[in-house]
Amino acid sequence: MSTYTATTDADRQAMLAEIGVSSVDELFDSVPAALRLDRPLDLPAGLPEQDVYAHLRDLAARNVSAEDELTFLGGGMYDHYVPALIDMLMSRSEFLTPYTPYQPEISQGGLQVMFEYQTAISELTALPVSNASVYEGPSAVAAAGYLAKLARPGRTKFVVSGGVHPHSVETLRTYAFGFGAEVVVVPLVDGVTEWGDAVDDDTAAVFFQNPNFLGAVEDAEALAADVAPAGPVVVAAYDPIALGILKPPGECGVDVCVGEGQPLGNRLDYGGPSFGFFAATEEHLRRMPGRIAGETTDVDGRRGFVLTLQTREQHIRREKATSNICTAQALNALGGVVYLAWLGREGLVELGEVLLQRTHYARERLCEIDGVEPLHTQPVIREFAVRLPVPVQEVVEACAAEGVNPGLALVEDNALLVALTEQRSRADIDRLVDTVRKAVAR
């Protein structure tokens, strides 16, 4: 750590004198002792610039990207093809550099992007209201929990399917702790969700994922109908690519649909950044996080765009705000709407059908290996889990040595979560099968 700072001793003394203290130690005396670190920071000494560059270069060389190996890794982030069109538009300065569009008269392009994005998400989910995106999938799930708290005051329980992504459950728990809600996770039965008797009159919201974390397609209509008598907010986290062939959540009784937007035109850049989408029924319009761009006409009757609702944000509502969603994710959401426009309605369906066929082929082929069996037999779209007869981590390491990432290791179940995208051909799947077969035999 460098000890250099541009502030001189004279500068420091002038600042201390201005606030009426004689030293930095005296300044920090106002901080309770229990909150102060009573030792130096445990950081190495500083290095010359060229040595720092060499160190970072060596660290970067240890990374393996999806272009360096044949990858079947998924679990929420997927190696889809990103067309050059997206990079070209996202790199334009009017999208790359602006801050929040507080002044609509000079922000029409950014506001229109938000509006078009919201329209695409509403059409995708069949829900009437979408916001202009949130940070990523797990925080969208957590934000839906806070929405449910506001919508069902006095209720203190969230019932969560065991098929919801573990990162989303962890984030929801963190948020819920802050406002005193209990998170109850119900285990999967044969790979899918069953609420059992977990939902009662104290349940503010139920959460499920479709397809779930193990790749199984859930019966969304049945899950929503089963809890209707208790009246919780029904929250569903969806894979946006799967919505090309699944019945949309808005037609299944879902109140709030959220999800991870990375598959929509966003790259696997070390796990992020990405964006989260958030759509809901009209009932929850004013409880949604973030902002909503709207269409209007100006005094001359011309079509224009404005920030219609942003009263949930901290710069407007301060301590009464329901969210703090700013500009960081807007560029990624632009990539999402460009990707959807590039695919088009028919293209999204065709992509889903391609994934369906290749995933079925991959699961059938892997289960031909002696000792390999499906973790569940439910319908799948782009991801599935298989149980292995030998330690899964050993198989992953053996495959990696052959230039193949076979999927995400589910150590607790000794299973492998395998994901498909349109970039994995039949020949790629055959290579995966051969590599896993050799690793298991070894």
DSSP secondary structure string, 350-404? Answer: HHHHHHHHHHHHHHHHHTTSTT-EES--S-BSSEEEEE-SS-HHHHHHHHHHTTE
Distance CA 108, CA 59 (A): 42
Strand pairing of 203-210 and 157-161?
A: parallel
What residues form DSSP beta bridges with 59?
Answer: none
DSSP secondary structure string, 237-264? Answer: EE-TTGGGTSPPGGGTT-SEEEEE-TTT
Q: What is the CA radius of gyration of the chain?
A: 25
pTM above 0.85, yes or no: yes
Q: What is the pLDDT of residues 130-187, one digit of tens each?
A: 999 998 999 999 999 999 999 999 999 999 999 999 999 999 999 999 999 999 999 9
Query: Which residues in the chain show pLDDT less than 50?
Result: none
Residue 166 vs residues 138, 175, 209, 392: alpha-carbon distances, Å: 9, 14, 11, 19
- pLDDT at position 104 is 82
**Residue 67, Cβ density class (10 Å: 0-12 exposed, 13-18 middle, ≥19 buried):** exposed
The dotted CATH code for 70-79+346-441 is: 3.90.1150.10
State whether residue 112 is helix, strand or coil: helix
State whether residue 294 is helix, strand or coil: strand
DSSP class of 233: E
- The answer to whether 232 and 206 are in contact (CB under 8 A) is yes
- pLDDT at position 1 is 52
- pLDDT at position 287 is 92
Q: What angle do CA 246, 247, 252 make, to 5 degrees?
A: 135
Q: Which two tokens stand for residue 384?
A: 């599935």
Q: Provide the percentage of residues in the chain whose pLDDT is more than 70.
A: 97
State whether residue 80 is helix, strand or coil: coil
Q: What is the pLDDT of residues 284-323, one digit of tens each?
A: 999 998 889 999 998 999 999 998 887 666 667 777 777 7
Class of domain 84-339: alpha beta
Residue 156 CB contacts under 8 Å (≥ 6 apart), including other chains? 180, 181, 182, 202, 204
Domain boundaries, the chain: 9-52, 70-79+346-441, 84-339
